[in-house]
Chains A and B, each alone.
Chain A
Amino acid sequence: MDDAKPFAWPDDDISRVPYQVYTDAALYALEQERIFRGAAWNYVGLEAEVPNEGDFKTTYIGDAPIVVTRGADGVVNVMVNRCAHKGSLVCFKQRGNAPELTCVYHNWTYGLAGELTGVAFRRGVGGKGGLRASFDQKAHGLRRLRVETYRGLIFATFSNATPAFKDYAGPDMIAAMDRVLVKPLRVLGYHSQILPNNWKLYVENNKDSYHASLLHVFHNTFGVVRPTMGGGIKLGHDGWHHLSYTQREALADDHIGKEKVRSLQESYKLRDAAMMEHKLELGDLVTNSIQTIFPTLVVQQILNALATRQLIPKGPDRSELIWTILGFEGDDPDLHELRLKVNNLVGPAGLISMEDGCVGGWVQRAAKGDPAARSIMPMGEGVEPSEGSRITEAAVRGFWRGWRACMGI
């Protein structure tokens, strides 16, 4: 065992996960280095959040504070939000617009692309003090990350070795993003949810297509998703990413693309089924599509509720989930209202998503007692895509393959 590693996987079996990976502080620190500041493309936001020159937003990649800006040239910049001087946060607002970025601690200023443009009292006062003559201003900008955008989503990586985003995602994942993100995006709002668990438990939860109809009873009771519905699992990048989708059966009076709105409620258990209506807007009968891009992005379509979910680890036993709820530019008033109502199903108070907020905490609390004990994930085959069945844990095993590859464990 490499001395630098806090942990060794006991064997080659990625279907048995030692609970230590959810609780260990040294592993958490290594993840920061090897995943978040390592080989991954990390989702940091939307181009629609920084549409104009000078717009900025702050976020995190792992524990690293990040600022995203739109530069004068229209280019999106992603930088570490840490002053080159004494390490203070440069931007502490959530979002805004500014001609330049100023660290208020000592008034050092940076251009929108992170270049150091001003040092307060650089010539000192009265000929005394100030910058050393040898100080190279160009060498002390904000740390810039590699940036790529895809269909309005902004990704950044600390690594020069990571392949281009399209190659990192792979053709099936690109096709899934192409299917959902069909028009310019409009942000309808945000949710923030604190999850009382290690970040990987939420990632596993998203990749775990087996649990959807079991834990989320609302699905079955009110007829959104049943395990007998069509659909399947696709995988990308050797299983690092996944897509799980559900497709309802075609009905005689369906006219895809003809603006049909249909209530998916069964047996009229709801007094007002407005939040269960589905307008077929994406050219198919897919009712649920949950896509993960390693490590921490989810792209979601549940009926007409579209969203990105960005997971931010906050220590070994806590995470923050940022939901960015989306519509499209040009949505008509009916579709806009439909999206707002269908969003009752998702988010921290979502009738089919709220359980995912607590189930990770239950594993976390149980994992603490016995770090060497292991889970068992025997459903389905290996790390293989499946057509017709979502009763598989293949995508979860795929995540562990990616995690081990990045971590060298």
Chain B
Amino acid sequence: MDFDTDMTLLARLNALYAAWAHIVDDDRLEELPDLMTREGVYRVQTRENHELGLPLSLIYCDGADMLADRITAMRTANVFEPHVYCHAISAVAVTAREGAGWRARGNFTVARTMAEGETMIFACGRYFDHVVEVDGALKFRERVAILDSRRIDTLLVAPI
């Protein structure tokens, strides 16, 4: 079956995207590295830098351990006002085969609600991912969140 007509693959991919969103939005961030392969790269980059061909990311975790470290820092060291995210994920698609896995993409909009109750659209953009199968489960070999929203309001703590 071709990747672009494989509805089982698409359903599994949607489930992976949903799992990521639920973990972040429920603030169960310690579970997030489990969705990455050990060497999986997670980056958040602005569309501006991406389109200029500039390498800088807002967040650059080279391996699931660096993602875990960022979450440890957030829990034990960083100071910020409490807030929660709500992800809206759409237009999830498999775009190509790559190695033993697939290239995939999807859109996200993240609303952020502060402790005082105010909600704003904090980020919107697209995921560009490399997804592989590990012991029967889909995982991110690479997850890159490209932000259309170039201006970060106040700060970016939790992953997108």
Q: Which residues from chain A sit less than 8 Å from chain B, CB to CB?
A: 94, 187-196, 215, 217-218, 221-222, 269-272, 274-275, 320, 325, 336, 340-341, 343-344, 347-349, 351, 354-355, 357-359, 361
Contact = CB atoms under 8 A, between A and B. Distances in A.
B68 A271 contact: yes
23 contacts: A94-B48, A188-B54, A188-B56, A189-B52, A189-B54, A191-B56, A192-B150, A192-B152, A222-B73, A269-B72, A270-B72, A271-B66, A272-B62, A272-B66, A274-B66, A343-B56, A343-B57, A343-B60, A349-B152, A355-B79, A357-B155, A358-B154, A359-B79
Given A188-B54, A192-B152, A348-B152, A222 B77 contact: yes
A234 B56 CA distance: 31
Contacts of A358: 79-81, 154-155
B143 interface: no
Given A340-B57, A358-B81, 5 more contacts: A188-B55, A191-B152, A348-B58, A355-B79, A355-B80
B155 A190 contact: no
Nearest to A220: B77
9 A-B pairs closest in CB distance: A189-B56, A348-B152, A357-B155, A271-B65, A349-B156, A189-B54, A272-B65, A189-B49, A218-B77
Interface in B42-67: 44, 46, 48-49, 52, 54-63, 65-66
Category for how many chain B residues contact A: 35 or more
B157 interface: yes
A360 to B, nearest CB: 9
A344 B81 CA distance: 20
A320 B54 contact: no
A351 B61 CA distance: 12
B78 A355 contact: yes
Contacts of A355: 78-80, 155
B8 interface: no
B78 A320 contact: no
A193 B154 contact: yes
A221 B152 contact: no
Contacts of B72: 269-270
B66 to A, nearest CB: 5
Contact of B59 (A193, A271, A349): A349
B59 A344 contact: yes
Contacts of A218: 73, 77-78
A341 B65 contact: no
B28 interface: no
Nearest to A272: B65
- Which of A218, A347, A354, A359 lies at the interface centre, i.e. has the most chain B CB atoms within 10 A of its CB? A354
Nearest to A348: B152
B11 to A, nearest CB: 32
Nearest to A95: B52
A340 B55 CA distance: 8
B154 A194 contact: yes
Contact of A221 (B59, B68, B76): B76
B59 A190 contact: no
B56 A354 contact: no
Given A348-B155, A351-B70, A217 B79 contact: yes
Nearest to B53: A189
Contacts of B61: 344
Interface string B79-97: 1110000000000000000
- Which of A349, A357, A358 lies at the interface centre, i.e. has the most chain B CB atoms within 10 A of its CB? A349
A352 B158 CA distance: 14
Given A187-B54, A343-B56, A274 B62 contact: yes
Given A190-B54, A193-B155, A348-B152, A354 B80 contact: yes
Contact of B73 (A94, A190, A215, A351): A351
Contacts of B63: 272
B121 to A, nearest CB: 13
Contacts of B73: 218, 221-222, 351
B69 interface: yes
A320 B151 contact: yes
A257 to B, nearest CB: 26
Contacts of B76: 217, 221
Contacts of A275: 66, 69
B153 A190 contact: no
Nearest to B59: A349
A190 B49 contact: yes
A195 B147 CA distance: 18
